[in-house]
Amino acid sequence: MTVTDTPTHRAEPDDTQVLFEEARQRRKRRWLIAGITALVVVVMALGITIGLLVSRGGGSTRPVSPAGPAPSVAAASAKVSFSIRPVLCYAPTYAVPAGQAPSTGPLPACSPSTQLTASNLQVAPDSGNVNGYTSNSNVNADPQFATYPSTTSSNGEQSQEVLLPGTATSGSSGRYVLGPAGLTRTAIASARAISESGQWTVRLGLTPNGSAQWDSLAAQQFHAIVGVVINGQVVSAPITQPTQRSFASFDGQLQISGGFTEHQAKAIASGL
C-alpha cells in the first residue's frame, strides 16, 4: 500500500462568520486601548502623589538633588565651641624627631623668657605709631612644646591649660599655650555678624555675669594677650587695650575679628 500526501480541503468562509470575526477583533482593540489609558492615568496619579510627599516640608517645596559630598562649612544652626583664654606663650609647630616618642602628660610651664606677660611684651601707647602703640615683637615660641601634640577636645578642657593651633589669620603659623577659659559660650546673650570697612567680624553682647567675667579676664590680661578659641583653633590673639594707659570696662560688648568671610562670620554668630 503506497502512502501519499493528500491535499487538505479548505472550505470557503461564510459571510456571517467573517463579520463576526471582525467585530471580535474591534472589541479586543478597544479593550487594549482602554487598558493602556487606565494604566497611564494610574502612573500619573502615583507620580503626582509621590511628588507631593517629597515637596511637603514645612509648607515649602524642597527640590531633591543627587547625593554628594557634605558641605565643608557646618550648617549655620550648628553650635560652635567657644572660649576666650589668656595666652601664656607661643609654641612651635608639632614635630617629633625620628626615634623619639611624643611628649605626654600635663603641659610644662612656659619658660620665663617666652611668657607673654605685659612686662615681656612691653606694650606702650604711642599716638605717633601707625598701630597706636609699640611692643616687643621678639618674644619667641617656647621650643619645649614642639614634641607635645595639640590638645584634643574634651569636656574638662575649659578648666585646664591647653595647647592649640592657630589659623592663618590669627597672627601665628605655630601654636599657642593657653590658660583655663575665662569666658565661654554661656556668657553670650547675643551675637551677630557685621561688616566694617570691608572686614567681617562677630559682635557679641554679654550677659551681666558674662560682662563681669570678661572684664575680669581683660583686666588680668591688660597689655597682655588673650586667645579667642573657636572649634579648637585660635582665630584671634589680640593684645588687650594696647592703646590705653589703664584698663577700662568693656560694658558687656565684645567684637571678634579673625579674617572671616561673610559665610564664616554668619555661621559663627548663628552657632553662638
Give the Cα-Cα-Cα angle 179, 148, 150 (nearest 5 degrees).
Answer: 60
DSSP designation for 120: H
Query: What percentage of residues in the chain have a pLDDT greater than 90?
Result: 61
Q: What is the pLDDT of residues 139-162, one digit of tens each?
A: 999 999 999 999 987 655 788 999
The grid coordinates of residue 142 equal 617656647
Q: Is the pTM of this model over 0.85?
A: no
- Nearest CA-CA partner of 214 in 233, 245, 189: 189
pLDDT computed for residue 29 by the predictor: 53
35 backbone dihedrals φ, ψ, rounded to 5° = -65, -45
Q: What is the pLDDT of residues 20-70, one digit of tens each?
A: 445 555 555 555 444 544 444 333 333 333 232 233 333 332 222 222 222
Poorest-pLDDT segment among 33-42, 105-114, 230-239: 33-42
Q: How confident is the model at residue 167 (pLDDT cuts 50, 70, 90)?
A: confident
Query: What percentage of residues in the chain have a pLDDT greater than 70?
Result: 68
3-class SS at 240? Answer: strand
Higher per-residue confidence, 172 vs 110: 110
- CA separation for the pair 239, 132 (Å, rounded): 12
Average pLDDT, the chain: 77
* 242 CB burial (10 A radius; 0-12, 13-18, 19+): buried
